[in-house]
Amino acid sequence: MSYFFQLVVSGIVVGSIYALSALGFVLIYKSSRVLNIAHGQIIAAGAFITYALTVWAGISIYISFLLSVVITFFLAMSVERIFLRRLIGEPIISVIMVTIGLMSIIDGLVYLTPFGTENFSFPAFLPKTPITFGGVSISWTQLVGVIITTILIASFSWFFKRSTIGVSMRAVSDDQLASMSVGISVPKVFGLAWATAGLSAAAAGSIIGNITGLNFDTLHAFGITVFPVVILGGLDSIIGAVVAGIIMGLIQQFAAGYLDGHWGLYGTADVLPYIILLVILLFKPHGLFGIHEIERV
């Protein structure tokens, strides 16, 4: 039975990391209706910045974590300013393709640094012994990851619900023209959306980097891995990202724990999310929590 609970706990842990990674997609989509395919690369960049600050500049990891979050905040904002500002009002495929181009550009930039081809790992800064409770264990790194995720997601929810800027971001996502007419600067809102997404990406990157070690391939693949999560939750729902993240985490753990090795099945954890994704798209196209665009065809 403890095996089952371990799967549940692991699923929740992995799921919350998924949720944090998915958050970046949601934040951008929520205000500007853009799907940022380069998100995985930004996650990787965030992790590398944290590492560079910690190890090469010798700053304490807590401070460098905060610093890297701030840096990616501005980086993502400038990415929006330089590449995406011009494309406001262009068809959706153009914007998606720009993010694909961006992906390639960030790849190229990372290959200029040692991170492109070498492997690194964060210095250990948390106690190694895991927290064990009734045969179920969770490591400190994972626990801290979950805590950071919770804090970030809670504050984003608050931000969108209560703060003036948050409300204006929601307004923009609802109707750009109407929000412009009440004096909201749409470009600024877009910039802010990207910036916050960058912030969450750096946080996600640092956490994943701590768990897997820093390998560019592994890190940027995360951008694609969390797609099913984003869709399951609904592209524009923060709560959706959390719930879907945890559901996907659980499904993957159960698939790996109970399906693999039986009936000649292997590696199901990798493909199952996409199968579920297709099924969801057929029956609940806007995800669990996504807003239904009422539009009869």
Q: Give the footprint of other proteins on residues 182-241 (CB under 8 A).
A: 208, 211-218, 221-222, 224-225, 227-228, 231, 235
Distance CA 103, CA 269 (A): 25
CB 70 → other proteins: shortest distance, Å? 25
For position 77 contacting other proteins by CB under 8 A, the verdict is no
CB 114 → other proteins: shortest distance, Å? 8
How far is CA 237 from each of CA 83, 177, 208, 227, rounded to the nearest angstrom?
25, 22, 23, 14
Q: Tally the residues of the chain.
A: 297
Of 32, 38, 39, 35, the closest CA to residue 18 belongs to 39
Stretch that binds other proteins, among 56-64, 92-100, 164-172, 195-203 (CB under 8 A): 92-100
Nearer to other proteins, 141 or 196 (CB): 141
CB 84 within 8 A of CB 95: yes
CB 167 → other proteins: shortest distance, Å? 24
136: left (phi over 0), alpha (psi -120 to 50) or beta: beta
For position 54 contacting other proteins by CB under 8 A, the verdict is no
CB 69 → other proteins: shortest distance, Å? 20
How far is CA 88 from each of CA 41, 80, 172, 177, 230, rounded to the nearest angstrom?
22, 10, 13, 12, 23
- 31-50 residues near other proteins, rule: CB under 8 A: 35
For position 175 contacting other proteins by CB under 8 A, the verdict is no
Distance CA 113, CA 254 (A): 38
The binder of other proteins chosen from 57, 112, 177, 182 (CB under 8 A) = 112
Distance CA 265, CA 263 (A): 5
The binder of other proteins chosen from 86, 88, 155, 185 (CB under 8 A) = 86
Stretch that binds other proteins, among 43-51, 87-95, 164-172, 190-198 (CB under 8 A): 87-95
Residue given tokens 């560079």 in the structure block: 52
CB 43 within 8 A of CB 223: yes
Distance CA 60, CA 50 (A): 10
How far is CA 177 from each of CA 31, 93, 125, rounded to the nearest angstrom?
13, 21, 49
CB 36 within 8 A of CB 25: yes
For position 156 contacting other proteins by CB under 8 A, the verdict is no
- 252-291 residues near other proteins, rule: CB under 8 A: 252-253, 256-257, 260-261, 266-267, 269-271, 274-275, 277-278, 281-282, 285-286
CB 102 → other proteins: shortest distance, Å? 7
Stretch that binds other proteins, among 59-67, 85-93, 150-158, 178-186 (CB under 8 A): 85-93
Nearer to other proteins, 31 or 168 (CB): 31
Give me the 113-152 binding string for other proteins, x by CB under 8 A, dash otherwise: xx-xxxxxx-xx---xxx------xxx-xx----------
For position 154 contacting other proteins by CB under 8 A, the verdict is no
CB 215 → other proteins: shortest distance, Å? 5
